[in-house]
């Protein structure tokens, strides 16, 4: 299975280490796929223009690790109502 992200734009989070965000995103997707399997909605080519990862309630500072995990979960949950 291949997941390709052509462009990752982070808005409203201030300066973060992009490599740490990407590492956390990849880790979260690997963990979710290993635990729950790949969603059926992921079969074939899928294009997403935008995925929103809401900030933590009451959070005053967002870390790269937290944001990467949130984005990974958001990507996983898009079209993931059916599992194989």
53-83 pLDDT tens trace: 666 666 667 889 988 998 899 888 876 544 4
Give the pLDDT confidence score for residue 74 in this predicted structure.
87
Domain ranges of the chain: 16-39+60-84
Summarize pLDDT for 1-47 with one digit per residue, the tens: 677 788 888 877 778 888 999 999 999 999 999 999 988 777 766 67
The confidence band for 84, taking pLDDT boundaries of 50, 70 and 90, is: very low
The C-alpha atoms of residue 49 and residue 34 are separated, in whole angstroms, by: 25
Answer for the pair 32, 79: CB distance below 8 angstroms, yes or no.
Answer: no
Give the pLDDT confidence score for residue 82 in this predicted structure.
43
Complete DSSP assignment for 3-37? ---S-----SS-S--HHHHHHHHHHHHHHHHHHH-
């Amino acid at each position: 299975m291949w997941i390709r992200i052509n462009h990752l734009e982070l808005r409203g989070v201030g300066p973060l280490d992009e490599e740490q965000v990407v590492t956390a995103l990849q880790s979260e997707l690997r963990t979710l796929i290993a635990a729950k399997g790949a969603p059926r909605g992921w079969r074939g080519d899928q294009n997403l223009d935008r995925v929103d990862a809401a900030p933590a309630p009451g959070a005053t500072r967002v870390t790269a690790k937290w944001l990467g995990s949130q984005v990974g979960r958001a990507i996983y949950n898009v079209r993931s109502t059916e599992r194989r």
